[in-house]
C-alpha cells in the first residue's frame, strides 16, 4: 500500500513531463529522494506508511512539481551550430569545385563522390544529435569501444587501409572523456595513468605515419584531463593534479627532441621547415612560397590539393583570406568554449570538450600549414576540405557536441568513490521561484 502512494505520486508528476527521455531519469531521481527522506523519517521512529506519506507530502503538489520539472528539463537544441555545419558543408563543395576546376577536369570524379556523401554526413550528424549521449557514460560501452578502436587502428596500419588509425585518432578523445567521467573522486595514481594514456592510446597514428593525427589526439586528451583536474574531478589538491596531467606531455616532447637529433631524416625535415631556402627544389619550395605569400606562382598540381585550399584562395583573392579564416576560427572557438563553460554538469563539459577540441585543432593545424608554419600535412579543414571519411567523422563529432548541449539538463556527475564521498548529502531542486532543499543521510 505504501508503494502505491509513491507510484501514484510519480505517475501524476510524470504526466506533466513531456520530454519522454527526461521522464524516466527524473522520476527515478525523484523516487530515490523520496525513499531516502522516508528512510530518514523511519529512523526517527515513524511507521513505513506514515514516513512515506510525510516524505511525499513534503515534495509538494505533483502537478505543480511536474510542470516545474517539465519547464526546467527541456531539450536545449543548439540550432545555430547545426545551421553553421550545414553552411560550412555547402561552402566546402563550392570551394572544392573551384580548386578542382583549376587543377583539371580529371578531378571532378572525386568532387562528385564528395557531393554524394555530404547529405549522408549531415544525416549522421542529425542522428547523433538526437541520440542519447549518456550511453557513452556507461562503463562497459566506453571500455569496449576504446579497446575496439585501438585494435582496429593497429590492424588497419598493417593492410591497405592505413588511414584507419587517423580516423580513430579523431574519435579517441570522446571515448577517453567517457572513461574519465567514470573516475570521479579517484586519486593521484589515476591522474598519472590517465595522463600517460593520453599519449599512448593514439600511438597507432604514428604507424601510418601521421604526426599530425598523433599530436592532435594526444593534445586533446591532455587538455580534457587538464579540464577535469581544474574542475576538481579528482580527490586531492587541484594544483597537484594539473602538474601530473602535464608531466607525461613534457616527457614525451623531451623524448621527441632526442629522436629528432638522432635521426638525420627527421632533423633534415625540421631543418627544411625552419629554413625552406635550404631545399629550393623539394618540400622547401612549398614552405618558402607559402611564407612569402600567395603572389608567387605555385604549381597547379600543388594548389589542386584541398590541403592547400586556403593558399589557393589567397592567390585568387589576396592575403586577407588568411586573416579572415583566423578571425572566424577564433570567434567560433570563443563562442563554443563559452557555451561549453555554461553547461550545468562537469560531465557534460568534459564530453563537449572532447568533441569540440578536435574540430578546432584541425582548423588551427590547417591554417598554419597553409601559412607554411606547420611541418606536417594537416588532417582536414572540418566540413570544408575534401575527404569522405573526415567529413563523416567530423559530422559525428559535431553530432556528439550537439547531443551534449541538448542533453545538458539530464546529465549528472557520477558519485565519488565511497572512500572519498561524504555520508551527508544535500539535493537542491529549483521549483519555480523557490528552491527545494533536501538533506539525507546515506548509511555506511
pLDDT tens track for 56-105: 788 877 788 877 777 777 778 889 999 999 999 988 888 877 776 665 54
Q: What is each CA distance from 79 to 1, 83, 392, 402, in whole angstroms?
A: 47, 6, 20, 9
Burial class (CB in 10 A: 0-12, 13-18, 19+), 339: middle
What local confidence, expressed as pLDDT, does residue 120 receive?
A: 94
> Is pLDDT above 90 for 218?
yes
Instruction: Report the half-sphere exposure of 159 (CA within 13 A, side-chain side).
Output: 8
| Res 20 pLDDT > 60 | yes
3-class secondary structure, 348: helix
Q: Which residues pair with 122 in a beta bridge?
A: none
Q: What is the pLDDT of residue 416?
A: 47
CB 408 within 8 A of CB 344: yes
Helix/strand/coil for 438: strand
Q: Tell me the range of 142-151, 155-164, 254-263 where mean pLDDT is highest.
A: 142-151
Whose cell is 570521479? That residue is 184
What b-and-e string marks burial along 4-20, b requiring 16 or more CB atoms within 10 Å of the CB?
ebbeebbeebbebbeee
The pLDDT score that the predictor gives to residue 367 is 92
Which is it for the CA torsion 39, 40, 46, 52, positive or negative?
negative
pLDDT digits (tens, 9 = 90+) for 302-323: 555 678 888 878 877 878 888 9
How far apart CA 269 and CA 272 sit, in angstroms, is 5
Residue 141: pLDDT band with limits 50, 70, 90: confident
Query: Are 287 and 302 within 8 A, CB to CB?
Result: no
Residue 438, classified by CB atoms within 10 Å of its CB into exposed (0-12), middle (13-18) or buried (19+), is middle
| Per-residue pLDDT, 423 | 38
Q: Report, as an integer, the average pLDDT of 11-35.
A: 78
Count other Cβ atoms within 10 Å, centred on residue 298.
17
Q: Which residue has the cell 568554449?
A: 337
Q: 25-39, 94-108, 297-311, 354-368: which has the highest mean pLDDT?
A: 354-368
Percent of the chain at pLDDT > 90 equals: 26
Percent of the residues in the chain that have a pLDDT greater than 70, as a whole number: 83
* Contact status, residue 217 vs residue 169, Cβ threshold 8 Å: yes
The 10s digit of each residue's pLDDT in 375-425 is 888 888 999 888 888 999 999 999 999 999 998 887 877 644 433 333 344
What's the grid cell of residue 150?
Answer: 585501438
Task: Write down the H helix ranges in 157-237.
Answer: 164-181, 188-200, 211-230
Amino acid at each position: 500500500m505504501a508503494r502505491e502512494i509513491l507510484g501514484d505520486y510519480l505517475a501524476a508528476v510524470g504526466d506533466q513531463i513531456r520530454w519522454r527521455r527526461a521522464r524516466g531519469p527524473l522520476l527515478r531521481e525523484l523516487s530515490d529522494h523520496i525513499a531516502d527522506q522516508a528512510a530518514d523519517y523511519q529512523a526517527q521512529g515513524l511507521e513505513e506508511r506514515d514516513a512515506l506519506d510525510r516524505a511525499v507530502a513534503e515534495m509538494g503538489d505533483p502537478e505543480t512539481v511536474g510542470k516545474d520539472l517539465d519547464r526546467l528539463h527541456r531539450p536545449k537544441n543548439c540550432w545555430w551550430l547545426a545551421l553553421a555545419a550545414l553552411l560550412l558543408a555547402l561552402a566546402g563543395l563550392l570551394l572544392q569545385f573551384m580548386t578542382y576546376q583549376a587543377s583539371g577536369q580529371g578531378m571532378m570524379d572525386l568532387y562528385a563522390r564528395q557531393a554524394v556523401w555530404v547529405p549522408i554526413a549531415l544525416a549522421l550528424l542529425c542522428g547523433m544529435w538526437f541520440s542519447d549521449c549518456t550511453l557513452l557514460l556507461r562503463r562497459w560501452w566506453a571500455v569496449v569501444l576504446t579497446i575496439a578502436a585501438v585494435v582496429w587502428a593497429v590492424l588497419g596500419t598493417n593492410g591497405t587501409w592505413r588511414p584507419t588509425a587517423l580516423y580513430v585518432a579523431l574519435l579517441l578523445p570522446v571515448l577517453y572523456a567517457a572513461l574519465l567521467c567514470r573516475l570521479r573522486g579517484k586519486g593521484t595514481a589515476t591522474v598519472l595513468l590517465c595522463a600517460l594514456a593520453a599519449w599512448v592510446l593514439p600511438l597507432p597514428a604514428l604507424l601510418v605515419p601521421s604526426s599530425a593525427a598523433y599530436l592532435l589526439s594526444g593534445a586533446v586528451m591532455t587538455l580534457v584531463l587538464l579540464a577535469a583536474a581544474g574542475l576538481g574531478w579528482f580527490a586531492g589538491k587541484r594544483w597537484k593534479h594539473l602538474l601530473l596531467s602535464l608531466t607525461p606531455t613534457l616527457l614525451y616532447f623531451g623524448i621527441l627532441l632526442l629522436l629528432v637529433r638522432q635521426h638525420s631524416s627527421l632533423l633534415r625535415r625540421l631543418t627544411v621547415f625552419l629554413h625552406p631556402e635550404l631545399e629550393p627544389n623539394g618540400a622547401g619550395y612549398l614552405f618558402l612560397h607559402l611564407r612569402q605569400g600567395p603572389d608567387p606562382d605555385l604549381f597547379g598540381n600543388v594548389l589542386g590539393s584541398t590541403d592547400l585550399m586556403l593558399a589557393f584562395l589567397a592567390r585568387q583573392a589576396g592575403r586577407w583570406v588568411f586573416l579572415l579564416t583566423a578571425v572566424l576560427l577564433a570567434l567560433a572557438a570563443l563562442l563554443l568554449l563559452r557555451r561549453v563553460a555554461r553547461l550545468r554538469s562537469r560531465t557534460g563539459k568534459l564530453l563537449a570538450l572532447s568533441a569540440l577540441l578536435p574540430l578546432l585543432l584541425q582548423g588551427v593545424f590547417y591554417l598554419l600549414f597553409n601559412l607554411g608554419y606547420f611541418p606536417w600535412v594537416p588532417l582536414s579543414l572540418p566540413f570544408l576540405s575534401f575527404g569522405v571519411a573526415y567529413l563523416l567523422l567530423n559530422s559525428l563529432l559535431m553530432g556528439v557536441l550537439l547531443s551534449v548541449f541538448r542533453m545538458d539538463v539530464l546529465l549528472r556527475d557520477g558519485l565519488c568513490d565511497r572512500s572519498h564521498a561524504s555520508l551527508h548529502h544535500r539535493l537542491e531542486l529549483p521549483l519555480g521561484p523557490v528552491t527545494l532543499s533536501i538533506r539525507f543521510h546515506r548509511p555506511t
